[in-house]
Chains A and B, each alone.
Chain A
Amino acid sequence: MNYSLLTLEILVTLLGLGVLLAGLWVPAGARKLIGYGAATLVGVILTYAIGGASPADGTAFGGMFVVDAMSNFFKGFFLLAAVVVLLLSLDYADTLVGYAEYCALTLFALVGMLFAASANDFILLFVALELITITFYILVSFQRNRIASIEAGVKYLILGAVASGFMVFGTALIFGSANTTNFFEIAAKQAELTKSPLFLTGLLLTIVGLGFKIAAFPFQMWAPDVYQGAPSPTVAFLATGSKAAGFVLLLRIAFGVVPDLTAQWSRLFLGFGIVTILYGSLCAIPQRSVKRIMGYSSIANAGYLLLGIAAASLNGSAAVMTYLGGYIFTVLAAFAAISVVVAHTDSDDISAFAGLGQRSAWLATALTVGMVSLAGIPPLAGFFAKFYLLRAVAEHVMIDKAFLVALLVACVGVVISLYYYFGILRAAFFPRHAPDLAPIAVSSTAKLAIILAVAGTVYLGIEPEPMVKVAQQAAAGLKTLPEAPQTAAK
């Protein structure tokens, strides 16, 4: 077997184990060193991964594990998100009990994401997702002295376990009907399999399980509570890495395994997308907690991404990847600011952000870039991502009028989202009464995280061409995608 295909996974696993061991020997006063070391080494692995050293395409473990353009595309983003999250976690090094474990668990979650990007078998899919989810159970409830954090952890545990149950059941049904769990083998006989109700039920249950991961309606209920209660760096990772991992699997199943069925089910994805957008956008309006708003915003964004999957075309899946790329940078920029403010003020209420424009230029910049890009305003990454995604949706308007509804709902969703994103910015820049205008000191690691995230958001907004190209290649690599939209289901 060609182990070089697994270089990244092996390196990150070793790093995680190393960090775990280091936690035993490094004295309590110097534990920040662990965070610095982990962030630096993940950064090194990231440069190694994008520096052309990534292995040629191929499969390992008897076809369970695949390396292709799409897996490489996502692995870069996962590694990057981990670097930023580790940098942000350094602000929490003194308050988190067992900081070395926190870093190690973050790295193990990263390993799960890397495997998810390469999963080519329902079993590996399940194992990778469980690795992500189980580490997150702990990461979410890591602030054991805060009741909100424990509560969030329990909620995530219960709902996550239900989702896993769905997925196992789905996988069992798929294996029962297809006699294999390998994606390629199932794709080869999809024509007959998609006639089997057993297979369809199994697939649907698997999609439900993924729906939990990406926080799509009606499997979204954990997101706001967990986002609010969990430590901010964890939320940043949950909102970027975990969500993207769910989408990479959804893309692979939808377009790599059963593309014909996806075209038939486009109305299903479309419906979920529309409801998810509306639910996320509307529920965010009355919220006062910024982290909760980000939870609802994450739901709404899952809705936009589902529209891209519903488009079931080359442009649709390339748009989903482009969107995720921009979204990861954007959310990291927003959370870099949120994380520092929450660590400093110990509150995530909008009022804690009042007067941020005068308190810290760094945080204000990161927050503004994050919110403006999330709202889809040029020249930031979020704008081009939305444009490209809506374009993919628009290709279907003449074939199926439901797509027109989706387009208009997406527009309404964007306008509603402006209200709550700008509500945060309004507090930051035009506070009615700011009790405390003392400057907030931003650590140099947080500054580095902000620079990375903001630079990425701006760059992808001004020069999206390279990413679009890679995303289109990755989408084309996913077998049998139609160039133009196919006739949608009636």
Chain B
Amino acid sequence: MSSLTPLLLTPFLGALLVLAVPGNYRVILRALALLTGALTAFQAIALFAGFQGGSAELQFVQQVEWIPSVGLSYHVGVDGLNIGLVLMAALVSFAAICAAWEIERQVKLFYFLLLVMTGGALGAFISLDLFFLYFFNELALVPTFLMLGLWGRGEQKTYATFQITLYLTLGALVALTGLIALYVMSGVNSLDVLVLKAALAEKPLSAQAQTLIFPLLLLGFGTLVGLWPFHSWAAPGYAAAPTSTAMMHAGVLKKVGLYALIRVAWPFMPVGVAEWMPALALLCLGNILYCGWVAMRQRDLALLLGNSSLAHMGFCFLGLASVTVLGITGVVVIMVAHGLLAALSFALNGYLFNRCGTTDMDKLGGLLRQMPFIGTAIIMAFMAGCGLPGFANFPGELSVMFGAWKALPWFVVAAAWGGLIIGGVYMLRAIRSVVHGPAKAEFNHVSDANYWRRLPFLVLLAALLWFGIQPDSLVSRIQPSVVEIVKAAAPAPPVPAAPAAVAAAH
């Protein structure tokens, strides 16, 4: 048995154990959830450390037949594309469980849902059978809706819950239509990535089929990521979500859509990629510029973070549109980095909401004196958000821009402008109005995080800094797999990888 299966089973078993504990034993419930999260995280770290970089081979593979008459099987494995994501998902889950101390009602159900969400997210990343990818992704989305509805905040919560439910389901279903079309038209009666890869290498999909399936996958999975103009669910949804849910969704689940695109749409449909590249480049500017602009106008920290997270997704789409090794490697790095960063930002936002009762930036101010630790964490997180070197986002965004320069120079100019200038403006403004400025009397009583509550922030910050200072630990694992993807996605010989550019990112 591969060590991926225990990793996947841990959160689900934890969830079952949580169910077995009576609801009023809150300490035991919390301890059990934390233990499960910690176990999952340790397994993921061990997996990441044990992963052999420098090869595009799938590792820790395991396959079990499930519905042979329809050609579906439980098939898991990791390569460069998902190993970093698995680590990120496990770390963020642990942090999200830590951050769940704010929940006061129906604690048992909350931890149960959170653990199911963790299991679903991990399952979606490690599944090599696309049916299971979809299955686990949906399995993780159901708790999202329930948590929003039951523990959400603000007056708009019911509306936000419905909006996010309908949007994400529509996106998922459109993507499912694309997957089913792929399943049927490939003629192999299987949704296994390896089987599809082998079959399509022999006999690629017809150009007609590719132009049919590619947009279904792009727009379907794109909606899950918040591709402009299908993004409007994201910011209000995150603003209404309880802290842990926002961390898990913005950090982890959102990346499933991107991961599926890199895993399926790009390598299997080169004609579709070539056709849709210009349109995708335009749409990603919608994310980078429009959502950045919207973020600039926000006075509510949660809405600002939601829109800024959409702007970051724009960089991912830009990297995908470039179809270069450097660009797509950058995308995977951003996915890991942004997962950690988004979780950190929403955790901080949730902490402020709980302590100060608001996330309205006009009402906040001068908090650095009151809470030196949280204030420092906010400054670091927001600086990472505008791409400060030293944090993991920087190498990712830089590689994307270098990778995209050759094919899409003007888009890179616009993206750099949007990402660096607009991002700088709203992040610095947010820092100014939240942690700097005169101290306000009504926040005299608020307290800084105690040692125990610092844990989630420290874990996420440490990971961000580690990958920011040592991006090679990620890049060396990612790149071989990306080379394979680009080889399949770009009919012309791929642009040779430029290690110098990656080195420059250090």
> Can you name the residue of chain B whose Cβ is closest to the Cβ of A376?
B173
Q: Is B230 among interface residues, defined by CB-CB distance under 8 A? A: no
Q: Is A391 among interface residues, defined by CB-CB distance under 8 A? A: yes
Which residues does chain A contribute within 8 Å of B158, judged by CB atoms? Answer: 426, 430
A408-B142 contact in complex given A398-B209, A429-B149, C-beta closer than 8 Å: no
Interface residues of B in 212-262 (CB under 8 A from A): 212
Contact B177 A407 (CB under 8 A): yes
Interface residue from B139, B142, B150 paired with A429 (Cβ < 8 Å): B150
The answer for the CA separation of A397 and B205 in the assembled complex, in Å, is: 14
Q: Is B122 among interface residues, defined by CB-CB distance under 8 A? A: no
Query: Which of B65-73, B294-302, B305-313, B477-485 lies at the binding interface?
Result: B65-73
The answer for the CA separation of A395 and B146 in the assembled complex, in Å, is: 35
Contact A414 B173 (CB under 8 A): yes
Interface centre among A390, A415, A469, by most chain B C-beta atoms within 10 angstroms, is A415
Q: Is A482 among interface residues, defined by CB-CB distance under 8 A? A: no
Q: Is B353 among interface residues, defined by CB-CB distance under 8 A? A: no
Interface of A is mostly: helix
Interface centre among B131, B180, B209, by most chain A C-beta atoms within 10 angstroms, is B180
The answer for the CA separation of A408 and B178 in the assembled complex, in Å, is: 10
Contact A377 B184 (CB under 8 A): no
- Total B residues in contact with A, Cβ cutoff 8 Å: 32
Contact B173 A397 (CB under 8 A): no
A-B pair count, CB < 8 Å, reads 79
Query: Which of B38-46, B161-169, B423-431 lies at the binding interface?
Result: B161-169
Contact B208 A419 (CB under 8 A): no
A411-B69 contact in complex given A398-B209, A422-B162, A429-B150, C-beta closer than 8 Å: no
Interface residues of A in 411-435 (CB under 8 A from B): 411-412, 414-415, 418-419, 422, 426, 429-430
Size band of the interface chain A makes with B:
20 to 34
The answer for the CA separation of A395 and B185 in the assembled complex, in Å, is: 7
Q: Looking at the assembled complex, report how far the CB atom of A466 sits from the nearest CB atom of chain B, in whole angstroms.
A: 10
The answer for the CA separation of A63 and B132 in the assembled complex, in Å, is: 45
A394-B162 contact in complex given A379-B135, A468-B70, A469-B69, C-beta closer than 8 Å: no
The answer for the CA separation of A407 and B174 in the assembled complex, in Å, is: 9
Which residues does chain A contribute within 8 Å of B138, judged by CB atoms? Answer: 377-378, 383
Contact B162 A419 (CB under 8 A): yes
Which residues does chain B contribute within 8 Å of A468, judged by CB atoms? Answer: 67, 69-70
Q: Looking at the assembled complex, report how far the CB atom of B425 sits from the nearest CB atom of chain A, in whole angstroms.
A: 37
Q: Looking at the assembled complex, report how far the CB atom of A386 sits from the nearest CB atom of chain B, in whole angstroms.
A: 9
The answer for the CA separation of A24 and B70 in the assembled complex, in Å, is: 53
Contact B139 A397 (CB under 8 A): no
Contact A398 B177 (CB under 8 A): no
Which residues does chain A contribute within 8 Å of B277, judged by CB atoms? Answer: none
Q: Looking at the assembled complex, report how far the CB atom of A302 sits from the nearest CB atom of chain B, in whole angstroms.
A: 20
The answer for the CA separation of A429 and B68 in the assembled complex, in Å, is: 38
Contact A377 B177 (CB under 8 A): no
A430-B183 contact in complex given A411-B177, A468-B67, C-beta closer than 8 Å: no
Which residues does chain B contribute within 8 Å of A426, judged by CB atoms? Answer: 149, 158
Q: Looking at the assembled complex, report how far the CB atom of A247 sits from the nearest CB atom of chain B, in whole angstroms.
A: 21
Q: Is B459 among interface residues, defined by CB-CB distance under 8 A? A: no
The answer for the CA separation of A430 and B183 in the assembled complex, in Å, is: 39
Contact A388 B165 (CB under 8 A): no
Which residues does chain B contribute within 8 Å of A398, judged by CB atoms? Answer: 185, 208-209, 212
Q: 1/0 per position for A353-379, CB-CB distance to B under 8 A?
A: 000000000000000000010000111
Which residues does chain A contribute within 8 Å of B176, judged by CB atoms? Answer: 387, 390, 411
> Can you name the residue of chain B whose Cβ is closest to the Cβ of A416?
B166
Which residues does chain A contribute within 8 Å of B174, judged by CB atoms? Answer: 408, 411
The answer for the CA separation of A372 and B169 in the assembled complex, in Å, is: 12
Contact A394 B149 (CB under 8 A): no
Interface residues of A in 448-488 (CB under 8 A from B): 464-465, 468-469, 472
A387-B166 contact in complex given A377-B138, A404-B212, C-beta closer than 8 Å: no
> Can you name the residue of chain B whose Cβ is closest to the Cβ of A389?
B180
Name 12 interchain pairs, CB-CB below 8 A, sorted by A.
A377-B142, A378-B139, A383-B138, A390-B176, A390-B177, A422-B145, A422-B165, A426-B158, A429-B149, A465-B66, A468-B67, A468-B69
B→A interface (CB under 8 Å): 66-70, 131, 135, 138-139, 142, 145-146, 149-150, 158, 162, 165-166, 169-170, 173-174, 176-177, 180-181, 183-185, 208-209, 212
A→B interface (CB under 8 Å): 372, 377-379, 383, 387-388, 390-391, 394-395, 397-398, 404, 407-408, 411-412, 414-415, 418-419, 422, 426, 429-430, 464-465, 468-469, 472
Please name 18 further chain A to chain B contacts, defined as beta carbons within 8 Å, in addition to the given A398-B209, A430-B158, A465-B66, sorted by A numbering: A377-B138, A377-B142, A378-B138, A378-B139, A379-B135, A383-B135, A390-B177, A391-B180, A391-B183, A394-B183, A395-B184, A404-B212, A408-B174, A415-B169, A422-B145, A430-B149, A465-B67, A468-B67
